[in-house]
Amino acid sequence: DQQVKQNSPSLSVQEGRISILNCDYTNSMFDYFLWYKKYPAEGPTFLISISSIKDKNEDGRFTVFLNKSAKHLSLHIVPSQPGDSAVYFCAASPSGTYKYIFGTGTRLKVLA
Amino acid sequence: GAVVSQHPSRVICKSGTSVKIECRSLDFQATTMFWYRQFPKQSLMLMATSNEGSKATYEQGVEKDKFLINHASLTLSTLTVTSAHPEDSSFYICSARRPATGVNTEAFFGQGTRLTVV
């Protein structure tokens, strides 16, 4: 049972355009959400997070949107850069725990 | 720079042998560390929570006698894959949080260890 889903395994975007990565979840007990970036054979690197009391969090080129009623979050990267090419994982944490449940990842390719 | 370091980054071992993977928090003390496993093109799956000075907590379906976890100090957790078999070949990653930061904070991940059992 995949509680965190990233339905797009891959995404290609032109440099300078906006990249939108989506994530859906099923467990209403999740109250903290994160996005990580991962290169092959490396550990994930934290990008941005959002608590369930908010619906938007912004950090530079990265913005995360949370729609609790739809159990959906998205990561917007604008403008996209070739160095953003990587696999992006969303993760969700059940309330009061330190655990993360990861999605299956979306491979982003930013074309120069 | 990296705040969580994992060693080795890559290991190849023979079937039936045991392999130890180390995870260190470099600039903070971590009472809790986490071990994940990732199969190719799949998600990171939480295997166990490593607790300093006490037994690890394993997720459902993870064999605790197969994956031994020791968290003997506040900066080091080890995962030992015992009697490794080819199906144990995977990418193992550890993570830790800075202490006293609450549940809604990000975790830092190690570089990962690629285990290949031949």
In this complex, the residue of B107, B110, B114 whose CB is nearest that of residue A100 is: B107
Q: Which residue of B has its CA nearest to A95?
A: B103
Average pLDDT value for residue range B79-107? 87
Interface residues of A toward B, Cβ cutoff 8 Å, are: 2, 4, 9, 31-32, 34, 36, 41-46, 49, 51, 89, 93, 95-105
- Asked if B103 lies within 8 A of A98 by C-beta distance, the reply is yes
Q: What is the pLDDT of residues A69-98, one digit of tens each?
A: 999 999 999 999 999 999 999 999 998 888
End-to-end CA distance of chain A: 38
Structure confidence at residue B87 (pLDDT): 94
Cβ under 8 Å to A: B residues 6-35: 6, 9-10, 32, 34
Instruction: Compute the distance between CA of residue B50 and CA of residue A67 in angstroms, rounded to an integer.
Output: 33
Average pLDDT value for residue range B78-83? 97
B91 vs A: CB within 8 A: yes
Structure confidence at residue B102 (pLDDT): 67
CA angle A62, A63, A64 (to 5 degrees): 125
- Asked if B106 lies within 8 A of A44 by C-beta distance, the reply is no
Instruction: Compute the distance between CA of residue B5 and CA of residue B49 in angstroms, rounded to an integer.
Output: 17
The dihedral through the CA atoms of B107, A83, B43, A58 has a sign that is: positive
Average pLDDT of chain B to the nearest whole number: 91
